[in-house]
């Protein structure tokens, strides 16, 4: 892992910290670092949920354009796989994830946020996909995940125009899930992720997989994905613990083991 991306773990919550001053421009080193951080977070049993955090001032203001500006077509053919992989690694992390957005989340920064399960934004945050102003389009998942999140018409508006979206509009169109004062973004993200600490890890993993994979297929195929994942959970200890707890004590938090 790189010094520009750190995984910090406390009380069952992993924070993937982007740390490349001043704007967290997403160069290749950060992209590789994010892949490594996601891999570590996925493997660690002491991580129940993950926050992606760029710090108090900015989430990520986009890709490193200076790094990309001199690339040829063949250079980008090779590099574009990394652009897809670093956001895919976050989207496929088998645990709940939330982007804690302060300042700007633009271009690649917005694509990182889109790859999370949830997004909490500061009340003065600004999001957008301004790649068209550079003569390109989003290349790290923006055209696909944005359309699935806010619908194709709104996604086309944002991508075609490249305009910036302030936090209230982002909330109104479903681009973010909540808006809080800037000073409360990270703690709000921790509060959201804390509800999954001590939870049934494999059930949460299966729920995420069922929803995400189901969105990519027709309804019957999605129902079959759900059926198989549902059945598979009967092989876990937590299924037995949860059902036994309900039968003996009723509703309430069961003493799950994450197994």
The answer to whether residue 226 is catalytic is no
Asked if residue 131 lies in contact with residue 138, where contact means CB atoms within 8 angstroms, the answer is: yes
Of the candidates 76, 90, 94, the one whose C-alpha atom is nearest the C-alpha of residue 34 is 90
Of the candidates 182, 177, 180, 184, the one whose C-alpha atom is nearest the C-alpha of residue 97 is 177
Alpha helices in the chain (DSSP H): 28-43, 65-69, 73-91, 108-114, 142-150, 152-161, 167-172, 185-194, 201-214, 219-232, 237-249
Under 8 Å CB-to-CB from 48, ≥6 apart: which residues? 12, 13, 95, 96, 193, 196, 197, 198, 199, 201, 258
Asked if residue 129 lies in contact with residue 61, where contact means CB atoms within 8 angstroms, the answer is: no
The answer to whether residue 69 is catalytic is no
- Give me the torsion for CA of 191, 194, 226, 245, rounded to 10°: -130
- Which of the following is catalytic: 29, 56, 111, 224? 111
Of the candidates 132, 131, 94, the one whose C-alpha atom is nearest the C-alpha of residue 111 is 131
Tokens 């703690």: give the residue.
Answer: 187
- Which of the following is catalytic: 8, 10, 131, 187? 131
Asked if residue 157 lies in contact with residue 189, where contact means CB atoms within 8 angstroms, the answer is: no
- Rounded to 5 degrees, what angle do the CA atoms 252, 253, 259 make? 140
- Backbone dihedral angles phi then psi of residue 43, each to the nearest 5 degrees: -85, -25
Residues marked active site are found at 111, 131
């Amino acid at each position: 892992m790189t010094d520009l991306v750190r995984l910090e773990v406390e009380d069952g919550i992993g924070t993937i910290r982007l740390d490349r001053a001043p704007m967290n421009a997403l160069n290749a080193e950060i992209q590789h670092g994010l892949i490594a951080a996601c891999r570590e977070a996925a493997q660690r049993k002491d991580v129940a949920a993950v926050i992606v955090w760029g710090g108090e001032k900015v989430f990520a203001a986009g890709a490193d354009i200076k790094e990309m500006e001199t690339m040829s077509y063949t250079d980008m053919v090779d590099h574009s796989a990394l652009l897809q992989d670093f956001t895919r690694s976050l989207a496929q992390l088998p645990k709940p994830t939330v982007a804690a957005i302060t300042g700007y989340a633009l271009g690649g920064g917005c694509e990182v946020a889109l790859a999370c399960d949830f997004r909490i934004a500061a009340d003065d945050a600004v999001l957008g996909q301004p790649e068209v102003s550079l003569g390109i389009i989003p290349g790290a998942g923006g055209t696909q995940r944005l359309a699935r999140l806010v619908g194709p018409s709104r996604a086309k508006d944002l991508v075609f125009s490249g305009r910036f979206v302030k936090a209230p509009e982002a909330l109104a169109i479903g681009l973010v899930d909540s808006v809080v004062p800037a000073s409360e973004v990270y703690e709000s993200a921790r509060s959201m992720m804390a509800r999954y600490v001590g939870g049934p890890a494999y059930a949460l993993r299966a729920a995420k997989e069922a929803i995400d994979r189901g969105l990519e297929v027709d309804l019957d195929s999605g129902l079959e994905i759900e059926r198989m994942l549902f059945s598979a959970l009967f092989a876990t200890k937590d299924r037995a613990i949860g059902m036994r707890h309900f039968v003996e004590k009723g509703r309430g938090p069961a003493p799950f083991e994450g197994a």
